[in-house]
Amino acid sequence: MVDKGKLVGCTQFNETDCDFSIFKTIAKKTLSDKQLLDLIEKGQTGIIKGFKSKEDKEFAAILKLNKDGTINFIFPQNAICPKCKKGEVVDKGKLVGCTQFSKTGCNFSIFKTVGNKALSEKQLTDLVVKGKTGKIKGFVGKSGKEFDAKLILNKDFKVGFDFS
């Protein structure tokens, strides 16, 4: 690997046209040399803190390098999909979902915003790992009225409200 400014790339580019490269900054977090080396040599990093979402919210995750050269976030507490038990739950922008969708059709996903309420990393983790959250305040119903509830995963792995 060779340093190419904003990214690191393959040293064999001139000889073999290898176009493999990784940006040094991902989700507004500049990776250390060790983190880049772990990602390239081991296929994933340890837990990295300080990433920022598109909404500028800070989060921690493991980076995983896929065989096709793409990189996914793996959230440490909820890495295993509760539905298929094979995939990993990764950030997919407006939602988190299973990496096995294209391979097995596992359609497990959770939108990061429910009832006009952005869910925290802990709430998403609790929902994936435990199947429920604690009481969350400030959901907004279709009528515009605010309400409080717990979120649960039902038997079909869909998100629902628990008002108990």
pLDDT at 162 over 60: yes
> Mean pLDDT, to the nearest integer, of 56-75?
84
Assess whether pLDDT exceeds 80 at residue 52: yes
Domain locations along the chain = 1-74
Q: Single out the residue of 76, 81, 40 nearest to residue 61, CA to CA.
A: 76
Cα separation, 164 vs 143, in Å, equals 21
pLDDT given for residue 79 in this prediction? 57
Beta bridge partners, 160, equal: 152
| Higher pLDDT pick, 76 / 149 | 149
DSSP character string of 47-111: -EEEEE-TT--EEEEEEEE-TTS-EEEE-GGG-B-TTTSSSBEEE-SSEEEETTHHHH----EEE
In this predicted structure, what is the pLDDT of residue 92?
A: 84
Give the Cα-Cα-Cα angle 56, 57, 58 (nearest 5 degrees): 115
Would you state the pLDDT for residue 9?
Answer: 76
Is the separation of the CB atoms in 100 and 86 below 8 Å? yes
pLDDT (tens digit per residue) in 74-124: 875 555 788 998 888 888 889 999 989 888 999 999 999 999 999 987 788
Using CA atoms, how far apart are residues 93 and 91, in angstroms rounded to an integer?
6
Range from 12-26, 121-135, 148-162 that averages highest in pLDDT: 148-162
51 closest CA partner among 23, 72, 26: 26
